[in-house]
Amino acid sequence: MSLPTLIRIVLALALVVCSRPAWAEDIVLSTIKEATRQYQTGDYTGAASNLDYAAQLVRQQKSERMKALLPAPLSGWAGEDASAQALGAAILGGGVTVSRDYKKGSSSVSVEIVSDSPVLQSVLMMVNNPMFAGAGGGKLEMVKGQRAILKYDSGKKTGELYIVVASRFVVTIKGRPAAREDLLAYGEAIDYRTLEKN
């Protein structure tokens, strides 16, 4: 591993810890510039490696920005810290995931937003084809104008709400245990217009 590459990795790790978006932009642009130079000189392996590295940094930036789109705790609920994860294409097809857990007494709800992932295609198939939704015990819903599927077991008070946004994001809201109304309320608390712009 060359010294410039090692320096970029150290700076990128510092960026993740310190969460300074300006540094991220500088590192991404300099890495792409280096990849361009490598490509022009015939170092295709180095160019591909640097482009993959830059793409991962972009995914990390996106995941940090998406955390702000997770809803605030509803009245009477407490929310834990949001988490973010950005995976490259080599790991489960890649994607960006942000999530947050909420609690109220014995009730628990988790909200997760996934983008840029192959998982989206299977959920899209369920939402766009009512036969798939019904086969899995789910019911079609509309949440703030977004197509959704709700699977809920009233006996166990557990359920899952899947919402597809702009054919690019999947919002999953799970409750164990939680009321059906809690799942829908958290679904209504998300700013889908802002999410679509990410």
For residue 134, the tally of other CB atoms under 10 A from its CB is 13
Average pLDDT over residues 80-85: 89
Is-above-0.85 flag for pTM? no
Residue whose structure tokens are 């299977």: 122
Domain boundaries, the chain: 3-66, 70-196
What tokens appear for 96 in the block? 């960006």
pLDDT (tens digit, 9 = 90+) per residue, 111-170?
A: 999 887 766 777 677 666 666 665 567 888 899 999 888 999 999 999 999 998 888 888
Given this model, what pLDDT does residue 13 score?
A: 41
Question: Which CATH architecture group holds 70-196?
Answer: 3-Layer(aba) Sandwich (3.40)
pLDDT of residue 135: 59
Kindly report, residue by residue over 7-31, the tens digit of the pLDDT.
454 344 444 434 445 555 688 888 8
Strand partners, 96: 86, 115
